[in-house]
Amino acid sequence: MGTQDDLTGGWRPIRRTRAFEDVLAAIETRIAEEGLTAGDRLPGERRLAEQLGVGRSSIREAMRVLSTLGVVSAQTGSGPDAGAVLVSRPEIALADLLRLHLGLAGLSLREVVETRSMIEQWAAAHGAGRAAPGDLSGLRDALAGMEAAGSVEEFVTHDTAFHLAVAGLSGNRLMSATMRALRAAATGFAVEAVERLGGTGGLMADHREIYRAIAEGDGEAARAAVAGHLARTYPQT
């Protein structure tokens, strides 16, 4: 069984930033080369980011995907127990997820937005009134991140976190994983949309309305808020 120290030497740096799918690919490669199995531990977040040459936000996003798929059990802290532990057959789940990313890369914006709209409207309506106050912390953190963002790219990173948190309220792991893949496929479109709108004021108002409707348990208002937000962001679809 591998240990954190055993696994740190062979991670190849990733050249692109903000590409959590590259982190997934690196982990899949490591699994194939080292034969990692359930119980093996990955390096901690900071060390893994340094070894792969990516930001820690990319590592966190990749770990959220793997946790959603039931591939890893994340561990917090900075001691010997830090880092995620493999808990299932990761090579199968990762291969399927990476194939999904590859397939989505060739889809049109209209196809991505229509599919995302169906998923997110249902997730928002389903999550409204069912989520405990603590379940909404991801939405609040993402709102704060968007407010403080210093660039379009940073805003889109927190925007993505907000919408993935909405999808997570559905309680459906497959829906959450699909939403992550859709957002990854549309990152460039999201940046272009913010630039085209010329500011984030309207988008922030939309996000606050989605949050308010979910927090107040108004499923229909949450569904309508998501639909209105996507119509504002991608009016051409």
Q: Is the pTM of this model over 0.85?
A: no
Task: Residue 137: give the domain boundaries.
Answer: 107-233
Q: pLDDT digit string (tens) for 15-74?
A: 443 456 677 777 767 666 666 677 778 777 888 888 888 777 778 777 777 776 667 776
Location of structure tokens 């909405």: 166
Domain count, the chain: 2
Asked if 163 and 206 touch (Cβ cutoff 8 Å), the reply is: no
Q: Are residues 18 and 120 in the same domain?
A: no
Asked if 70 and 173 touch (Cβ cutoff 8 Å), the reply is: yes
Length of the chain equals 237
Mean pLDDT along residues 220-225: 96
Q: pLDDT digit string (tens) for 75-100?
A: 555 555 566 777 665 445 555 555 55
Q: Are residues 121 and 154 in the same domain?
A: yes
Q: Are residues 144 and 208 in the same domain?
A: yes
Q: Are residues 145 and 81 in the same domain?
A: no
Q: Nearest 5 degrees, angle CA 169-CA 172-CA 177?
A: 95
Q: Are residues 26 and 77 in the same domain?
A: yes
Q: What is the mean pLDDT of the chain?
A: 77
Asked if 75 and 82 touch (Cβ cutoff 8 Å), the reply is: yes
Q: Are residues 120 and 71 in the same domain?
A: no
In a domain, 102, yes or no: no
- Listed residues 97, 130, 146: the one ending a domain: 97
Q: Are residues 80 and 127 in the same domain?
A: no
Q: Are residues 145 and 207 in the same domain?
A: yes
